[in-house]
Structure 1
């Protein structure tokens, strides 16, 4: 199933921003990702399935030391996915990342917030969300560069 069939991605949504999460220190900041024509519940069903399949699968998870939690409002107009560090017995520990799906007019606004996720993982998660919003559905192994990784990269000097 494609997000574009719900008006998500494939030109069906209106992109507000496509920023890489850098995991900067300081106050957490939400990053607006997209507005879609689908409702929050429909958007969550598609995106949540991809998140579970790509980030939390049993054989090769992106986030083996984290757990996934979802909360859906009774009306379905708001859905919240939270990612937590894995605590004893697989329980949810420290909150590290938030993905919100909220009703906005005739569509859904998807926002993300990195609380304490390492910058490389936060950047990968934002990269995947942006790809899926545009209609891709695969579990890419591509790791985007983060601002801190770019700064740490040694510069070649010509003499």
Structure 2
């Protein structure tokens, strides 16, 4: 269903690129558990929080997408992420993220089937992640794709 322009949503994309060029599988699994147990419960308490997705992009980088209804909620989510990065050795090792923020101007979601509780949320996250990866591929030299 296409959403009209009256719906406000703000997205923050944080891209973490490991200094050594790869994301270690064991570290990734531990980080996934830490984010699930420590970070996500905190950001879920933010007024207007809609969702957060963390993606492993070809074992080259991690991308975190956060969705909020308001600019203030988005700013609070960003502050939580920055503080968590400083406290978490695994994220800290990935270095300072490249951060992109913006207001969603339009979006559509597919019809939902009954989904497991942990994977319910905005379908916009998957579409945005796909767009982000494809656009990065267009900007990279052929030797790095």
TM-score normalised by the chain length of structure 2: 0.33
More helix by share: 2
Higher relative contact order (CA 8 A, sep 6+): 2
Larger Rg belongs to: 1
TM-score by length of 1: 0.31
